[in-house]
Amino acid sequence: MQPLTNPVKDYAWGSRTDIAALTGRPIPSPGPEAEMWFGTHPAGPSLLAGDGRSLADVVGADPLGQLGPETVARHGERLPYLMKLIAVAQPLSLQVHPSAEQAADGHARGVYGDPWPKPELVCALTPFSALAGFRSPGQATMLLGRLGVPALKDVVSLLEAGALLDALHALLDRGAAIEQAVWAASAVHHPDYDLVVRLARRYPGDPACLAPLLLQRHELAPGQALFLGAGVLHCYLQGFGVEIMGSSDNVVRAGLTAKPVDVAELLRVTDPAAEPLPVEACDGVYATPSPEFRLRRVAVDGDVRLDGGLPRILLCVEGAVRADALDLRAGESVFVPAAHPPVTLGGHGLVFSAEPGPAGRPAE
């Protein structure tokens, strides 16, 4: 087993308290801290705390020993998952992730940096808010139509006809109507309209500010989780959690960001019928359709045994836990290679275990 040091991403929407507090550093942090990455993705691989080697290099030098024959046979000589701490102080971009086939095709065309899909699961550590998946056409029609903005009448008509993607396309092309729509939303006291106004203050003139009227709102309590497969349009709003995903950084954005947007590609890969999946833990395991990953939440109070044979990353988020002879405090993590014997966790605390998903599931 190898203790890890992990990179922190300073995206503008990040918190200056959540990750710093969990890892025992001064609060507030000097700048926003949005994500801490645990894995081997080339955009931010973990390092071994002892000698500073990249976990990606360690896996590459001994894939069978580090990953195990089953993982190599199913996913190749790479760690198939990426775990993160995600600290959302401001809303993320309106975004979607491609399927396995779309990722492979887009990578070959130079559209995507990774040839793999990015299904993801977020498990809340604090109350966590998100927009994900389309509302019913009737509900979206009511919310958008209530604004009474003439320039949005064609969008409302498309919603009434059930043409969700066409309605989204038309909405994202209505920059000139946004000021009037936001003014109308500010006159209605309702959480969805309040969110429109909040987004418009941060991204004035961006038609994606009206996305809350088209998308479902999700509120997660600590311990609850939400799975997003390929094609699910979404936007995380606020909260702190543990996220696990396929080891890919393929993101297509349509707005609510200073980063590049690609509306045409987003419309191509968005599936209006794709639904976010609330996931409850069963014996601590958050089961999803993804073959790339499985997340396990382990409440340690005494000894708990984890089977060997899988490449795991263990992250302590609460208390003090012993993994075999290695002590972990909150914010500390360790990589357990597949060749390592079963691990015994002891002490008192809360640990998340990232591991490959079970066999027999197609890629999202």
Catalytic residues: 253
Map residue 127 onto helix, strand or coil.
coil
Q: What angle do CA 286, 289, 292 make, to 5 degrees?
A: 85
Per 3-state DSSP, the chain is made up of helix, strand and coil in percentages (nearest 5) of: 25, 30, 40
Contact between residue 314 and residue 295 where contact means Cβ atoms under 8 Å apart: no
Beta carbons of 15 and 21 less than 8 angstroms apart:
no
Question: How far does the chain reach from its first CA to its final CA, in angstroms?
Answer: 30
Backbone angles phi and psi of 138, in degrees to 5:
-65, -45
User: Which pair of structure tokens corresponds to residue 58?
Assistant: 């360690």
288-322 CB burial, b ≥16 within 10 A, e <16: bebbbbbbbbbebeeebebeeebbbbbbbbbbebb
User: How far apart are the C-alpha atoms of 219 and 336, rounded to whole Å?
Assistant: 33
Distance of CA 165 to the CA centre of its chain: 23
| Token pair in block for residue 45 | 């691989």
Partners of 277 in beta bridges: 227
User: Crossing angle of helices 178-186/191-202, nearest 10°?
Assistant: 130
3-class DSSP state of 360: coil
Omega before 289 within 30 of 0, i.e. cis: no
Structure tokens at 76: 């190749």
Q: Tokens 């059930």 map to which residue?
A: 162
Tokens 């604004």 map to which residue? 147
**Helix orientation angle between 164-172 and 137-145, rounded to the nearest 10 degrees:** 30
Q: What are the phi and psi torsion angles at 74 (to 5°)?
A: -85, -35
Instruction: List the beta bridge partners of residue 25.
Output: none
